[in-house]
Structure formats: C-alpha cells, structure tokens
Structure 1
Amino acid sequence: MCINISAQHVKELRSQTGAGMMNCKKALQASQGDMELAIENLRQQGLASANKKSTRIATEGRIESYIHAGSRIGVLLELNCETDFVARHSEFQMLAKNLAMQIVACPNVQYIKVTDIPQDTIDKETRIELSKDDLKNKQDQIKQVIVKGRIEKKLKELSLLDQAFIRNTDLLISDLIDQKIALLGENIKISRFQKFILGEGAVKNRSF
C-alpha cells in the first residue's frame, strides 16, 4: 500500500541526500515515511551522492543528433561528462539519445531548466494570464494565487529537466540524469540543445 508523503518531507530528504525529488518521494513511500531508512535506501542505490557530483567540471561528452520519422523535425544536443571514458559508455550514449528524442517529443520545451527562462518571457506569460476572462471577476489576492500557479506550470512545460521521461513517466528528466550520475560516477549535464523544424521561420510563397 502506497502512503501519502508530504512535499515538506520530500524536500527534507532531498536536502539531506541531494537525490532527485521523485527518487526521494519513492524512497519515503518504500520506507513508509521512515526518513533514516529512506536515506539508507538512497545511499544503497548510489543516488544520495549525485548532487555532490553536480558541481564538478564536465567538458567531455558527445554531440547527439536525432531526426524524427519523416525528417521534418530534428535535434542537436550537447551532453557533457567528466571523462572520455564515460562519454564512450553505452549508458551515457543511450542517455544522450533519449534526451534528444525527449526534446522532439515535447514541443513546448525551449530551455534546459526553469532558471534559464528570461524574465521578459515570464513577464509576458504573467500579463497573458492576468488578462484572461475567467479571472476578471476574481479578487486581486485570489487572482494572484491562481496566476502564480499557472505560471509555475507554464514554466515547467518550457523546461526540459521538469518533463516526465517518455520511456518511464514516473521519472522526471532531472531524476533520470541523477540516476546516470549515480551509475557512472561522474557529473553529467546538458549544456545546450537546438531544435530544427522544417520550414520554421521561412516565408512561404503564395499562389494567386
């Protein structure tokens, strides 16, 4: 039986271990809310040390490409690790491929993480939400709460790390990367990606 775990407990476990949010939640559910047992389980999986590796310099890696069926959309992705040895590892290469496919599968994704989103984009989305008809008769305080929730949801839709992994929707992309960090023992990070859509930005000729 799966018990309800509060967000506060998940955050507390994450602060103590550095493991991903979803991994922390699963560990707490598996331990029936026992914090010490959850920490032990994460350590056994190697996930408790993933966050400590995230500050280490990673300049090796690979450029991954993925062209979707029909050749109308493609992605170039730079995924970094610490050594050429890990860059050649099959798990790292599969991660790069899965991330490139994930970007194609998520049309709203434009940034690696929420903190990469420019403030002018956030301001624009906030103005749009504030002007929606369903909020016109709401009190200002209630309106601000609703808009805040909608903006947080929108920003996560734009962020690659906040997406559910298409091959396992119980995992966020951030948690998937943490798992590979634990497995391979090196820092792994997405440096950049570029999506290409056939005809995007081009002015099409019109027949009269």
Structure 2
Amino acid sequence: MAISAALVKELRERTGAGMMECKKALQAAEGDIEAAAEAMRREGLAKADKKAGRVAAEGRIATATSTAKDAAVLVEVNCETDFVGKNDDFVDFANALAELVLEKKPASADEINDLPMAGQTVEDRRRELISTLGENITVRRFSRIEAVGGTLDVYSHGARIASAVAIEGGDEALARDLAMHVAASAPAHLSAEDVPEERRNAEKEHLMSQARDSGKPDHIIEKMVEGRLNKYLGEITLMGQPFVKDPDQTVAKLVSEKGARVLDYARLEVGEGIEKKTEDFAEEVKKQAGTSA
C-alpha cells in the first residue's frame, strides 16, 4: 500500500529512526502507525541486547549543579566512538540524565535505570538511543557532592573530564580554582589521613625493598623510607599536591591562607579503568587473507 510522506515523518519524529526504516515499518504494518511504532520499539530492544557486550569506552561526563550551589553531580555516559559521543541526541540524553540524578538522588548507578525521563524510563530511552545511533550506550557511574553550609563549583575540561569541589569558608573563586586543580592533577584522596592503610603499607613495603638494596644501615633506611613515603602521600592527595596555578605552595597552604576547608571533591574521566580493545590492522588483513603465521 502507498505510505504518505506525512505518516513517515510522524513515525520518524516519534521514534528517531531513519526515513526508510520508518517507511518499511509502516508498509509492514499496513499503515498502522501504532503497530509500526511498537514493532520498531521491539526491534530496537533486540538490537540493544545484541550490542550490550560491546566495549563502550568513549562518551562524556555530564554535570549538574543546584541553584543554591550546595550540591552537584557528575555522570559518566559511555558509547563506542567519539563520533557518537558528540551526537546531539547523545549529548541531550547525558545532560538530562545529570539533571535527573541531581534531583532524584539515586543511591547507585543501578537505580538510575528506573528513573522517569520524558514519559519513559531512563533504561527505555537508553535502549532507544542504541537502536537509533547504532552503538552500545551505558550509564556507567556518577558522583555526588554536597556543600552543606558552604559552597561548591564544577569544572569541565571538554567533555571527557569533570570535577567538583565543595568548601567551607573561602569563596566561589577558590572553589573554582580547586575544581580546576582536581581536574588537572587527579588526586586519589583528600588528605594523607584518608589514604587506606593497605595502600600506605603496600607503598612502604615497596620503598623498603628498594632501600634495602642500597646497603645502608637500618636507621638510615627508615629515615629514607619515611621521607619517600611522605612525598608519595603528597603526590596522591589533594591537600598535599602543589597547587596547579602556583606550584610553590601546596593546596593545603592555599586553603589555609583563604581561611577555608575542603569538605569533599569528585573527579570523573571518560573511559577511566575500561580496558579498550586494540586492533592491529595489518595483522587483521593478514588473517583475512589467510597469510598469518
């Protein structure tokens, strides 16, 4: 049967699919737009399931900050390629998700899936995007920080890195500078006191092993290790790091001079910790040609 352009356009607006895909669905449904939309929805879910095992290590970090600047969230949404990571629909989904997480305060990333989003759930919208954009898309993680009685600021370095810092005392300019520092320097912990004992001991044992090879007396080795351990703790903690805009002073000294205290911080980077599959193009060609050794 003949399918009008207006009907194709309406189905395309509802599903976000291509015009030819919409026309084929309408033809199969004999012009019934509801049946065509439902068939496309089911097909989209099937496509999403097939793509679920594919590595998604690209994407963006979306952010949202409360009007009162007393709460902020960072959300990592992943896809397979940088190209899709810049797609308007993908960007809109990530930004809307950050606002939703800020408002609803889910306890974990798993709880995000069932949150309502524009008349459907986040999970339904995610699967729709997979069907439309043709890549696996995941909502990987989020961080939330609050500045009860203080203030905070968020800094984004492009779409791949975002950070937030909450402080008590000081001002928004200080919070902004600290957020920029966190984005650039990626501290693992707030202060030396926050470094887990297991990590501290593992590093100390590593340093002791190196120092013993020097042949120096034990009391000298102890002092060497103590100094090196303190240096290590300074490198991995926000308060111990040299301030990125003035390396001659530590963050701790800067914060003290401003009469402030860091309450919390967060930093997310796209794809951090995800093992990416690497392809050897030349070797792949050899295999396909049957010439691989």
TM-score, scaled to structure 2: 0.41
Q: Does 1:96 align with 2:175?
A: yes
Structure 2 Cα separation of the partners of residues 101 and 180 of structure 1: 17
Moved more, 192-201 or 132-141: 132-141
Q: Distance in 2 between matches of 1:171 and 1:71?
A: 29
Name structure 2 gaps, 5 residues minimum.
1-146, 285-293
- Equivalent-residue separation in structure 2 for 1:113 and 1:121 (angstroms): 13
Secondary structure of the residue aligned to 1:200 is coil
Deviations 1:7-29 (A, max 9, x none): xxxxxxxxxxxxxxxxxxxxxxx
Instruction: Tell me if 1:59 matches 2:137.
Output: no
CA contact (8 A) 2:233 2:240 kept: no
Residue of structure 1 in register with 2:258 after alignment: 180
Q: State the SS of the aligned residue for 1:64.
A: strand
- Distance in structure 2 (CA, Å) of the matches to 1:156 and 1:165: 11
Cα distance in 2, alignment partners of residues 99 and 67 from structure 1: 12
Shift of 1:136: 4.6
Q: Is the 8 A contact 1:165 1:173 kept in 2?
A: yes
What's the CA shift for 1:134? 7.1
Partners of 1:154 and 1:171 in 2: how far apart?
Answer: 17
Q: What's the offset of the Cα at 1:149?
A: 1.0
The 1-side partners of 2:231 and 2:278 are apart by 38
1:204 corresponds to: 276
User: Are 1:80 and 2:168 matched, yes or no?
Assistant: yes
Measured in 2, the distance between the counterparts of 1:201 and 1:59 equals 31
Task: Give the Å deviation of 1:133.
Answer: 7.0
* 1:34-183 map, 5 Å: 59-68=148-157, 70-81=158-169, 92-107=171-186, 109-132=187-210, 135-181=213-259
Structure-2 separation of matches of 1:133 and 1:171: 29
> How far apart are residue 177 of structure 1 and its match?
1.8
Name the Cα RMSD after superposition: 2.3
Give 1:145 shift: 1.6
TM-superposed CA distance for 1:61, in Å, is: 2.1
SS of residue paired to 1:60: coil
1:87 match: none
Question: Residues of 1 paired with 2:278 and 2:198: CA distance?
Answer: 34
Measure, in 1, the Cα distance between the counterparts of 2:223 and 2:255. 32
User: How many residues matched?
Assistant: 134
User: How far has the Cα of 1:162 moved from its partner?
Assistant: 2.1
Distance 1:125-1:97 versus aligned 2 partners, 3 A rule: same
Give distance in 2, aligned partners of 1:139 and 1:133. 10
Q: CA deviation at 1:168?
A: 2.8
Would the aligned equivalents of 1:135 and 1:143 in 2 still touch at CA under 8 Å?
no
C-alpha separation in 1, matches of 2:274 and 2:231: 31
Distance 2:271 2:191 in 1: 27
1:35: which partner in 2?
none
Contact 2:211 2:224 in 1 (8 A): no
Maintained 8 Å contact 1:74/1:196 = yes
- Give, as a single letter, the amino acid of the residue that structure 2 aligns with 1:64: D
Which residue in the other structure is 1:195 paired with?
267
Sequence identity (%): 27
CA spacing shift, 1:133–1:151, aligned 2, 3 Å = closer
